[in-house]
Amino acid sequence: MNIRLPCVVTLSWRMTDASNEALADCDTPREVLLADDGPLLPALQQVLVGQTAGFETRVQLEPHQAFGDYDAQGVCIESRTLFAGDIEAGQQLRGLPEGHISSGMPLDALYTITEIYDEHVVLDANHPLAGMALRFDLKVHAVREATDADLSGPLALGPDAGDVLAALGLEVEASDGWASVLVDLPRPTLH
């Protein structure tokens, strides 16, 4: 079967930065939904459409094709007192903390705590891979028609997929050891 939208493709992949430093590996083939609103980056879907099981390739995505250019306007500083309890760099929160003073920042963005000081905390709304050219080594193991279940909700990708998916920038919900991709994520547009 040729890959077309929508369908489910069983993939293995390796993601590196432009210097070939590994960022994520998925040696165990995983099912991924390819659809207009699917979890895979549109530029990767474009590479796969028309291919069949057994297809292997290496593709480089520039920042605008992956997670966007880095936007310095997406960084803000908030008072340390707004954060209850222990926090650490790398933690993420949805939206700004109650009582924030930053204006013009998206209220529903996913912010990463990048730096913590005695008096303030630096928050970054950019995707952790924003501004990076990324290389993907992809292998298609199988292709099948997408079922109604695949199209109507998150596609379960199996145990321990969460770390790989998070590294790929996919928002993940985990329960009972299974990770599911949330398919309603905003996507960067291709230029």
End-to-end CA distance of the chain: 29
Q: What percent of the chain has pLDDT over 90?
A: 68
Q: Is the bond preceding residue 186 a cis peptide, omega within 30 degrees?
A: no
For the chain, give every domain's residue range.
7-67+130-181, 72-124
Residue bearing the bigger pLDDT, 133 or 151: 133
The residue length of the chain stands at 191
Confidence of residue 168 (pLDDT cuts 50, 70, 90): low
Name the amino acid, one letter, at 36. Answer: D
Is the pLDDT confidence value at 50 over 80? yes
CATH architecture of the domain formed by 72-124: Beta Barrel (2.40)
pLDDT tens digit string along 85-139? Answer: 889 999 999 999 999 999 999 988 999 999 999 999 999 999 999 999 999 999 9
CATH class of 7-67+130-181: alpha beta
